[in-house]
Structure 1
Amino acid sequence: MAELKYEIVQHLATIAEGSKGWSKELNLVSWNERDPKFDLREWSPDHTKMGKGITLTYEEMQAVCDAFADFAENEELPEA
């Protein structure tokens, strides 16, 4: 199996922090020296380990943001 190379090009936001120090983050990440993509996943404190996540192109991220904006304008979240 080939080695996975990654570089966090830009940290955009920390979404949540877990009790064991891991944090859910939105970053721009270059995977295997390719163009960076938006990446949402959990990272260990030193960013040497990662959980499963999702990567999105700019266009895909824009579609997610548009869908959320439409939802937020027209819907109320149920109370927890």
Structure 2
Amino acid sequence: MQKLLHWEDRNATAHSIKVRVPFLDHRLVEFSLALKNDHKIMRSDTKCVLRRAKAIIPSAVAEQRDKLEFVTLEQSWFRP
């Protein structure tokens, strides 16, 4: 895992993009998996629990909706 995080950071820096790694705390993962679906997605709004945690995390993080995909050329690299 440490190597993956290192390479993700290195690639993001090389391409001047902002990346966020997933939450890696096992307690948070277990909590998330135990949630019912209506706590995860309401109407078309995703990450409902995270967005309601504004007292814990900055609202700029909770409300961020503009994501850019990090595109790699893996398909062309592995084509014969």
TM-score, structure 2 normalization: 0.29
| Higher RCO (Cα < 8 Å, 6 or more apart) | 1
Higher helix share: 2
Larger radius of gyration: 2
- Structure with the larger strand share: 1
